[in-house]
Structure 1
């Protein structure tokens, strides 16, 4: 992964919990939309154009998939083997 060249000016933290979900919405006449729902807040991830997929879009989608898989492994590792499924940061 490459380092960011610009400094972040703001950070939004979206916490998972009851009701949080991620859903892929494939469409026959446009590019897919990934919806991340956190209760009253939704984040929609789309390609750079609604009717076109670029090489950059494909690379971002692959990076997103890799990082989501790594996130899932980290969450599972923290959860694994604890009574009642409750954990603290490891």
Structure 2
């Protein structure tokens, strides 16, 4: 395996990690901003008020994007990693 193949595979793996985590992180960000705005407007400072909705939003988004995540990871594994492992 040459350095080019190693670094290209690493780059692709990191990009796939970003693509897979983006929907859940976006849901957490949007929910956190909305709850933070609500807390600032109402002066309610409850820690569970930020944690529980973020967790619920991330679980919903995770459930909705499981197929995309699975297809992306299995595609990367079968198209990129298996040929590298089998070839050498």
Higher RCO (Cα < 8 Å, 6 or more apart): 2
Rg larger for: 2
Same fold (TM over 0.5): no
TM range (shorter): 0.3 to 0.5
Q: TM-score, normalised by structure 2?
A: 0.32
Q: More helix by proportion, 1 or 2?
A: 2
TM-score for the superposition, normalised by structure 1: 0.32
Question: Is the strand fraction higher in 1 or 2?
Answer: 1
